[in-house]
Amino acid sequence: MMIKPKIEKALNKQANGELNAFYSYLSMSAYFESLYMPGCAHWFKVQSNEEFNHAMKLNEYLIARGGKVVLTALEAPKTQWKSFLSIFEEAYEQELNVSAQINDLMDLARSEHDHATEIMLQWFVTEQVEEEDTANSNVERLKLIKNYTEGIVAFDRELGQRK
CB 65 within 8 A of CB 116: yes
Domain with 53 in it: what CATH number?
Answer: 1.20.1260.10
Cα 24 to the chain's mean position, in Å? 9
Task: Say how far apart CA 67 and CA 2 lie, in whole Å.
Answer: 7
Kindly report the pTM of this predicted structure: 0.94
pLDDT in tens, the chain (163 residues): 699 999 999 999 999 999 999 999 999 999 999 999 999 999 999 999 999 999 999 999 999 999 999 999 999 999 999 999 999 999 999 999 999 999 999 999 999 999 999 999 999 999 999 999 999 999 999 999 998 899 999 999 999 999 8
Biggest CA pair distance of the chain:
58
The number of distinct structural domains making up the chain is 1
pLDDT value, residue 37: 96
Structural domain span for residue 45: 5-73+80-159
Best CA proximity match to 100, nearest among 65, 124, 118: 124
Task: Say how far apart CA 60 and CA 106 lie, in whole Å.
Answer: 18
In sequence order, what are the residues at sequence separation of 6 or more whose Cβ sits closer than 8 angstroms to the Cβ of residue 94?
21, 24, 135
